[in-house]
Structure 1
Amino acid sequence: MVSIKKIKSKKRISFKDLFSDENALIDQFIKSNTLLNTISLVGLFIVFQYLFSQIRFFIPDNPVPVTMQTFGILLVGGLYGPRLTLLSIFSYMIIGIIGVPVFQSHNGGIDYFFGVTGGYLIGFIFASVIISILSNSGLKKGLSIWAMIIGNLMIYVTALVWLTVYDFGWPEKGKLFSQAVYPFLIGDFIKLILASLSVNILWKLSKINK
């Protein structure tokens, strides 16, 4: 007689679960589910992202500077949960759009946001949220670098689409990748390694604190 096995249905991942901060690294040190802590952590991100954006240098004949902004984006994605990450990055972008000079070179305003660097800025939003979702879904600790690689690629994809759709007089015709991607690869690789190491160290520290 053939026995009938009960098939357990797998739990479906809801939108609420996807954006849950329950397993976030930051919650190993400070609970982000209170209003005061949420406001404090969002404010902390804005301050540090502003500081990172001012660490910059320009490549010859390139209007897009090399900054530490990407490091901040990778780090917040690995550190905060999806909900807190989304809230933080949107808050940063909104205050920049309304004119607060939080972008690189103390820039701000809607014209700057929708300028030549707009694709990179929009890419920051997608990248940070994707990294935090992937990190919360299992790509954390030693695997965090893979989430960050995917996030970094999202920045490039968004920037390339932006620069293809809108004409800013740059990059020059036929030099989209050579001017908008290749010059940033080495710096982004270094920032990616630093962010991944930082997240791994913090995970180890969280175990010590328990």
Structure 2
Amino acid sequence: MFITVSLIIFTGVFAQFRFFLPDNPVPITFQTLGILMMGGLLGPKWGFGASLSYVLLGMAGIPLFQGGNGGFAYTTGVTGGYIIGFILASTTIGYFIKKGLSDSKCIWAYLIGTSLVYIPALIWLSIFDFSWPEEGKLLSQAVYPFLIGDTIKAIVASLLTIGILKSKLKKYIL
């Protein structure tokens, strides 16, 4: 339980490290790093529970999201699909890691999990009208600008997970 709560706090703190690209209301944040590690360190069930708790606590108004945001209105705004994708990503990564992957396959699990964040985001943005992204520019504005950073975060999270799971800390996790 301590690790779960710590990862939720870690994710909320890392959400505050953000920057915006020009003409893009979705910030680049480091909260993804914490979300990815939830799955890798806690497995599919606890990873799901931790990421769902993070989202529900933020939805309840606790300022866990970027810029100290929280509340129902924020989670149903333009970033809502990405936030839903966090749950899918951490659960999927947890599932793959629980299978006992080699180090190189662990990295692939994180890359797959990271890419799954985009599926609910794209569906969300195509259903609801936020006046963004511009018509016909869904991928070029809502996915492509984030790919390099998210790939780097996935690799860093996988390397941190590999290191932690090979260390003496493993007995406190999973």
Q: Structure 2 length normalisation: TM-score? A: 0.92
Deviations 1:44-101 (A, max 9, x none): 1121011110010000100000000111111121111222112211211111111111
**Residues 130, 107 of structure 1: CA spacing in aligned structure 2 closer, same or farther, 3 A cutoff?**
same
Alignment partners' CA distance in 2, 1:158 and 1:116: 12
Equivalent residue, structure 2, for 1:175: 137
Equivalent residue, structure 1, for 2:122: 160
2:26 to 64, 71, 75: 64
- Per the TM alignment, residue 208 of structure 1 is displaced from its structure 2 partner at its CA by 10
SS in structure 1 of the partner of residue 21 of structure 2: coil
Greater CA drift, 54-63 or 134-143: 134-143
Question: Which one-letter code corresponds to 2:7 in the other structure?
Answer: F
Give 5+ residue unaligned stretches, structure 1. 1-37
Equivalent residue, structure 2, for 1:74: 36
The aligned runs of 1:39-50 (5 Å cut-off) are 40-50=2-12
Question: Which one-letter code corresponds to 1:185 in the other structure?
Answer: L
- Per the TM alignment, residue 42 of structure 1 is displaced from its structure 2 partner at its CA by 2.3
Question: Which one-letter code corresponds to 1:180 in the other structure?
Answer: A
Alignment partners' CA distance in 2, 1:201 and 1:142: 13
Equivalent residue, structure 1, for 2:64: 102
Equivalent residue, structure 1, for 2:83: 121
Alignment partners' CA distance in 2, 1:95 and 1:78: 21
Alignment partners' CA distance in 2, 1:140 and 1:118: 33
Give 5+ residue unaligned stretches, structure 2. none
Question: Which one-letter code corresponds to 1:85 in the other structure?
Answer: G
Question: Which one-letter code corresponds to 1:56 in the other structure?
Answer: R
Deviations 1:137-160 (A, max 9, x none): 233533211111111111011111
Equivalent residue, structure 2, for 1:200: 162
**Residues 94, 208 of structure 1: CA spacing in aligned structure 2 closer, same or farther, 3 A cutoff?**
closer
Question: Which one-letter code corresponds to 2:31 in the other structure?
Answer: Q
Tell which structure's C-alpha radius of gyration is larger.
Answer: 1
Alignment partners' CA distance in 2, 1:45 and 1:199: 12
- Percent identity, aligned pairs only? 50
Deviations 1:96-126 (A, max 9, x none): 1111111110001101101000000000001
Alignment partners' CA distance in 2, 1:197 and 1:64: 26
How many residues are matched? 171
Q: Is the 8 A contact 1:126 1:155 kept in 2?
A: yes
1:85 to 25, 28, 47: 47
SS in structure 1 of the partner of residue 15 of structure 2: helix
Alignment partners' CA distance in 2, 1:170 and 1:185: 18
Q: Structure 1 length normalisation: TM-score? A: 0.77
Alignment RMSD: 1.8
